[in-house]
Structure 1
Amino acid sequence: MSSVLVTAVAGMVFGISLAAPPGPMNAIIAEESVLRGWTAGCRAGLGAMLADAIFFVLTLVGVTAVVQEYGILSDLLYLLGGGLMLVFAVDAATNARAEAGFVDSEAATGATGFQKAFVLALTNPYQLAFWLTVGVGLTQPGTLELARHVPAPVAALVGDLVVETGSPMLLGGFFGGILVWVTGFPAALVASGRRVDGFAPVIAAGSAVVLAGFGLLFCWLGVTALV
């Protein structure tokens, strides 16, 4: 396998590994997928992906470094992001009570998931922290030991693989991996929702719990940092 192809595949693995772990973004994607269908779930995922693309551009031009220089901006971001997560958690809990089962609808309300995920991703301190650290390394010429930045099961598979950073193939593969996740994850949820009675409200309730948990954590981190 050529080094170019290896770099692209490594980037895709990296992108999927970043997008797949449970968290606020996947909570929004899951809620939209089981309540409004595959298209709505994909829209939510694309909202989060668009935020990553914006962070990528801002990293290239050096704007994200401003947040790193002025710590209070990061602290305020914790409060803003945490507050939004709590609001969306209430919405998810309301949806969980209202829906009796899977709703395969492509109504315009699906766009709400895009807006939620986009705004939430832009105010997610963890997402910004990634682009201030690992993300900067991805954009600059050098090397990256993949196993140090992916979950343990994936690290065991990639072993000692080192890839070239600053490469268009690595970055293309990275965003390609995110795209694979934000289309495949909703598809899996929709397929399960069609087969399992009561699946949708359970997932929506779980999304509410995840959003509330992260929201409270972020608000606590923001308040303690400011005081």
Structure 2
Amino acid sequence: MSIATTALAGVVFGLALAAPPGPMNAIIAEESVVRGWAAGFWAGLGAMLADALFFVLTLAGVVAVIDRYPFVRPALYLAGGLLMLYFAVGAIEEARAAASFTAEGDRDVAAAAAKVRGFRKTFVLSLTNPYQIGFWLTVGVGLLETGTLDVFSHVPAVGEQLAGTLLVQTGSPALLVGFFGGIAIWIVTYPAALSSAGKRVDALAPAVAAGSAAVLVGFGLLFLGVGAMSVL
């Protein structure tokens, strides 16, 4: 497999993992329709940089401490669940206050504090996300080890249906570069599409903020439930 083909497979893998609905995309959507593209991009960048940090820490063997100390994973579930519920409260307030995407929202994005608000949310949330850490402990770290990767089998919701349709050889830095390139494409285009739609449809901003709150509440309760069951 050529370097270009390997990199393209990595892009597909990155996009496939970044696109499914979840708490990170909920925050990106909320920031994009309420505050504009830049805020949505920064929110996506927070999750992406957390992935890069996990990759480095996994290579260094630091993240493996989770497997050595059983109490760490339940603690992460509980902390992540509480954070999601906390951010859900903010999303509910946004849904009540945001009548539409307005020029005032664009001016707000010009302020540095507004740009990094979503970044802080997704970055901190990613650091307490056991699923994200688990990915790098298993699949992610294997991207640079010689072997074979079934790309779509690791994609949430559709993995079983698409398993075996895209097999790539791992062990090439091009695959990892493509993987993060795919995530980068998502965090640029997803906020752009939502921001553009929000400017045209006044009702979109409060609707997306409400949807973001619902997603965060759902995942927050799920994480708290898993964490509590692990402790008992």
User: What TM-score comes out, normalization by structure 1 length?
Assistant: 0.94
Which residue, out of 100, 105, 110, partners 1:107? 110
* Partners of 1:17 and 1:154 within 8 A in 2: no
In structure 1, the residue corresponding to 2:71 is in which secondary structure?
A: helix
Q: Is 97-106 or 207-216 further displaced after alignment? A: 97-106
Could you say what the CA RMSD is over the residues aligned between the two structures, in angstroms?
Answer: 1.7
Q: Is the 8 A contact 1:102 1:193 kept in 2?
A: yes
Q: Secondary structure at the match of 1:71?
A: coil
Question: 1:122 offset after TM fit, Å?
Answer: 0.9
Matches within 5 A, 1:36-185: 36-103=35-102, 104-105=105-106, 106-108=109-111, 109-150=114-155, 152=158, 156=162, 160-185=165-190
Deviation at 1:65, TM superposition (A): 1.1
Are residues 71 and 88 of structure 1, via their aligned partners in 2, closer, same or farther at CA, if it must alter by over 3 Å?
Answer: same
- Whether contact under 8 Å (1:17, 1:150) holds in the other structure is yes
Alignment correspondent of 2:197: 192
Q: Is the 8 A contact 2:7 2:178 kept in 1?
A: yes
Shift of 1:136: 2.1
Q: Give the drift of 1:95.
A: 0.8
Read off the aligned partner of 1:107 and give its amino acid letter.
A
Kindly indicate whether the alpha-carbon contact (under 8 Å) linking 1:68 and 1:132 is maintained by their aligned counterparts in 2. Answer: no
Give the partner amino acid of 1:112.
R
Distance change in 2, residues 1:69/1:7 (3 Å):
same
Q: Deviations over 1:105-155 (max 9, x none)?
A: 123212110111110111111111111111122132222122322363997
Please show how residues 10-21 of structure 1 align to structure 2 within 5 Å.
Answer: 10-21=9-20
Deviates more, 1:145-154 or 1:49-58: 145-154
Q: Which amino acid aligns with 2:208?
A: I
Q: Which runs of 5+ in 2 are unaligned?
A: none
Letter in 2 for 1:212: V
* Inter-partner Cα distance in structure 2 for 1:19 and 1:147: 12
- Kept in 1: contact 2:37–2:195 (CA 8 A): yes
Measure the CA separation in 2 of the matches of 1:41 and 1:25: 11
TM-score w.r.t. the length of structure 2 is 0.92
- Which runs of no fewer than 5 residues in structure 1 stay unpaired? none
Contact 1:29 1:113 (8 Å CA) reproduced: yes
Q: Which residue of 1 aligns with 2:4?
A: 5
Q: CA deviation at 1:183?
A: 0.6
Equivalent position amino acid for 1:139 in 2: L
Q: For each residue in 1:54-103, what CA deviation from the matched residue of structure 2 results, as whole angstroms up to 9, or x when unmatched?
A: 00101111111111222210110000010000000000000110110013
- 1:64 aligned counterpart, secondary structure: coil
- Once residues 65 and 153 of structure 1 are traced to their aligned partners in structure 2, the CA distance between those partners, rounded to angstroms, is 25
CA distance in 1, matches of 2:218, 2:118: 19
SS at match of 2:136: helix
